[in-house]
Amino acid sequence: MEILHTTNEEPFVSGTGHFAGWENRLMKLEDTAILFCREGHAHIMIDLQEYELAPNTQVVLLPDTIVNFTNISPDFTISYIAFSRILFQEVTARLDLSFFRFLKENPCVTLPEERTRSINGLASGIEDLYHDRDNCFRQQILKNYIQSFLLDIYDKTHRLFLMKRPEGISRQEELFKRFIQLVHKHCTTQREVSFYANKLFITPRYLSTVIQNVTNTTAKSIIDKHVILEIKVLLKSTNLSVQEISNQLCFPDQSFFGRYFKKHTGLSPLQYRNQN
């Protein structure tokens, strides 16, 4: 997804276009990206959760998010803004951690028409600034724009979420959310339920019960799905050898790594890498 990739010389990109070429391209983002669907439809998988994109659907993708687009319609049109991890850290340095947690848990939302006007105005301003390369205050204006843009997105999304959210949230649902956050953070090195239970100060048995109650699946299967997704990204988007990927993800050896991957996908790592 090179179009969403920034450089040291140009820490942000912005534009609007048709993106049929994005279909079935599994990618882990290095930067922050905000997408806004203008026309058409598509599905997007964000860290194993699937969402439908339609006009006025807004997507916020934080660094290290894994995404994949499917079922893209011929008229699918997206406005996009992407900015580097460093720039994102600079403009969000004073924001509360709940801001990031909320966007991570709610990356995709379809806004009512009347709530898109201010966001559209800010997005247009950022796109104009992107092309105004002679502006000597471009970087400072950009930081102000992006901070305003993110805060406006947070406000619109948060209010909409509060309107739709059921009253209260159970302790088990809260534990599940914290479990998922930990899996996102540690799955590349930790694959045992006991590790996550210890982080949550509960027993592995209780964690397994909670996950089964909330999701009707097991904690181990959720961990494994995230690990497999990370492996697929490394196989498809890097030139790392199978041995190097095995080492990077802390498997004991390449043989165990290959058996683990084949158990969950039916393919060897090289078969997956070489398939279309």
* pLDDT tops 60 at residue 164: no
- Same-domain check for residues 41 and 9: yes
- Same-domain check for residues 154 and 246: no
* pLDDT tops 70 at residue 196: yes
- Report the CATH number at residue 155: 2.60.120.280
Among residues 164, 193, 213, the one where a domain terminates is: 164
pTM of the entire structure? Answer: 0.77
- Same-domain check for residues 90 and 201: no
- Same-domain check for residues 144 and 203: no
Q: How far is CA 122 from CA 14, 26, 81, 194, in A?
A: 12, 29, 11, 46
* pLDDT tops 90 at residue 199: yes
pLDDT given at position 263: 97
Among residues 164, 183, 210, the one where a domain terminates is: 164
- Same-domain check for residues 23 and 130: yes
Q: Where are the beta strands (DSSP E) in 84-215?
A: 108-110
Among residues 135, 164, 193, the one where a domain terminates is: 164
Q: Which contiguous run of DSSP H or E holds residue 246?
A: helix 242-248
**Residue found by looking up tokens 């959210």 in the block:** 165
Binned at pLDDT 50, 70 and 90, residue 257 comes out as very high
Domain that includes residue 177, residue range: 171-274
For 103-112, 118-127, 215-224, 245-254, which range has the lowest pLDDT when averaged over its residues? 118-127
β-pair partners for 107? none
For the chain, the domain total comes to 2
Decide: residue 97, CB within 10 A, 0-12 exposed, 13-18 middle, 19+ buried: exposed
Q: How many Cα atoms sit within 13 Å of 245 on the Cβ side? A: 25
* pLDDT tops 60 at residue 94: yes
- Copy the structure tokens of residue 258: 């290959």
Q: Contact 102/155 with Cβ under 8 angstroms?
A: no
pLDDT given at position 250: 95
Q: How far apart are CA 173 and CA 147, in angstroms?
A: 31
